[in-house]
Amino acid sequence: MRAGIQAVITAALIAVGVAASDAVSNVQTLDATSFGKWVENEPLALVEFYAPWCGHCQALAPHYEEAATELLPENVKLAKVDCTQAESLCTEQEISGFPTLKVFRHGKPTPYAGTRKKEGIVSYMRKQQLPAVSKVTADNLNELKSKDRFVLVGYVDESDQESLSALHKYADEHRDAHVVGVSHDKSLASKAGAQFPALVAYRTFDEPEVVQSAKGKSLTQEEIETFVNVESLPLIDEISAENFAKYAMSGIPLAYYFVEPESPSREDEVKKLSSVAKEQRGKLNMVWIDAGKFGSHAKALNLKGEQWPAFVIQDMENGAKYPLELGKDILGSVKSFVQQYVQGKLKPSIKSAPVPEKQGAVIEVVADEFDKYVFDDDRDVLLELYAPWCGHCKNLAPIYEKLAKAYAATPEASKKVSIVKMDGTANDVPPQADITLQGFPTLLLKPAGKGERKFVEYAGDRSFDSLAEFIASKGTHKVALKPSSSETANAHDEL
């Protein structure tokens, strides 16, 4: 009896709690009836399309609520639509996954490209309020600085059209990423230690203000981009899925310090490593990363894994990896290693499977013999990058084998065409190949020619005839298989 009463009381309390929560919520709930009019009336709003059962939506909920509360005084509203209750509306909005967030300006939607954390949502929506370049005066500088963790202001003369053009072009291309302002006030520039033309970064991390004068008579877009890529990131910060893209997009090599967050020495070691990060500012970015959560990433960077702390540098342009075996003197070993890297004295770590004892019609390439077989000057080389677990790769295997045998059937063709494959999970693609591996299988043709190193990517259907035609049309030797070979090998080949 008491248990039943307690259950009723508990249910009532939960219901009251939910009702109370809904009552104080600053996130507007929309449905198919209210949606159209609401978004039409709002000059700037963010709408989340969600499903109650979606785990990512549930994780977003508290961040979304906090962001709505913080943005409310700024007249930026947040709303949500339950797609299980408004299916037709979500179909009209082309919602294909949950949660999907869209920015609306008087009913016109654009994709939301920020993070799903409260700080990221607030920062992104504040940027949406601003023009690409805000005019900065002594009266509004502090307000502009409060809009984000990193704010860029160009101090330039009104007559300097080259600097103004470069700043506006940069701001237009990066308005979702950064708050940008311009000032023509020399006294305001002087307070920041700048003289026309110059850039000043106002930050809530590291040094609060950083100044860079133009290298020439005017600012260029290239130097603005370089300045922002370097100064918009902290000296050393924790990296995760939320901010990884910023580091990847910078194009600057990334140095990872893998450490367990609960390690008693973590904070002290990270603080020490910031001195190395400051010394090499602009040459590489340095971060620390949760070794327990991202141990698989450590192995992908050719670290042994399970041995923490660990350190590795990754070239974000070509993917080259430079792992370091840390000694007891972490700061000393990292400092020396980074200096050698910056000076170009280190060789990348290339993961390679063992060299096969025998080869078949399809040559099995490993990283250690990549140049030997793939960069064969005499042959048109078709390369498949595959994964043993990939179903599409398994389906392609018999077709690929028949293709290799067809070229090997005649001495003339075998001297001009080579069919090779490499396990992309057991081998690193050497940096000199300049291949961005985005999925399996990836098929590439390296045409014959002395010193030829460029690849032609294959995007057709994976049938015998189509692959043979690709080699004949894109290869240097234009080798075409005889019809009899094609007919023999082409039974039920298309995926």
Distance CA 281, CA 276 (A): 8
pLDDT at 143: 94
Q: Any idea what DSSP says for residue 465?
A: H
Residue 90 bears catalytic tag: no
> Of 359, 457, 361, 366, which Cα lies nearest the Cα of 403?
361
Backbone angles phi, psi at 258, to 5 degrees: -80, 125
pLDDT at 6: 37
Query: Which helix (H) or strand (E) covers residue 117, if one does?
Result: none
pLDDT at 483: 54
> Of 349, 342, 286, 287, which Cα lies nearest the Cα of 320?
349
Residue 83 bears catalytic tag: no
Distance CA 243, CA 117 (A): 11
Q: What is the pLDDT along the chain (495 residues), one digit of tens a residue?
A: 333 333 333 333 333 333 334 447 999 999 999 999 999 999 999 999 999 999 999 999 999 999 999 999 999 999 999 999 999 999 999 999 999 999 999 999 999 988 899 999 999 999 898 888 999 999 999 999 999 999 999 999 999 999 999 999 999 888 888 999 999 999 999 999 999 999 999 999 999 999 999 999 999 999 999 999 999 999 999 998 878 888 888 889 999 999 999 999 999 999 999 999 999 999 999 999 999 999 888 988 999 877 899 999 999 888 889 999 888 899 999 999 999 999 999 999 999 999 999 999 999 999 999 999 999 999 999 999 999 999 999 999 999 999 999 999 999 999 999 999 999 999 999 988 988 888 899 999 999 999 999 999 999 999 999 999 999 999 999 999 865 444 444 433 333
Task: Please report where in the chains the tokens 């080798």 appear, as a residue.
Answer: 479
The active-site residue out of 39, 277, 365, 393 is: 393
Domains of the chain: 20-125 (3.40.30.10), 130-231 (3.40.30.10), 236-342 (3.40.30.10), 363-489 (3.40.30.10)
The structure tokens listed for 470 are 């690709």
Taking residue 321's Cβ as centre, other Cβ atoms within 10 Å add up to 18
**Are the C-beta atoms of 163 and 226 separated by less than 8 Å?**
no
Backbone angles phi, psi at 468, to 5 degrees: -65, -40
**Helix (H, G, I), strand (E, B), or coil: what is residue 391?**
helix
The active-site residue out of 230, 346, 390, 413 is: 390
**Helix (H, G, I), strand (E, B), or coil: what is residue 124?**
helix
Distance CA 338, CA 469 (A): 48
Distance CA 12, CA 88 (A): 33
Amino acid residing at 197: P
Rg (CA), the chain: 29
Task: Please report where in the chains the tokens 């039409």 appear, as a residue.
Answer: 40
Q: Which residue spans within 209-309 are E strands per DSSP?
A: 209-213, 236-238, 254-259, 285-290
The structure tokens listed for 429 are 């693609």
Q: Whole-model pTM? A: 0.65
Distance CA 374, CA 300 (A): 23
Distance CA 109, CA 8 (A): 44
The active-site residue out of 32, 44, 54, 61 is: 54
pLDDT at 342: 96
Task: Please report where in the chains the tokens 């490593």 appear, as a residue.
Answer: 273
The conformational region for residue 140 under phi > 0 = left, psi -120 to 50 = alpha, else beta, is alpha
Distance CA 213, CA 156 (A): 10
Pairing outcome for strands 236-238 and 100-105: unpaired
The active-site residue out of 46, 51, 57, 443 is: 57
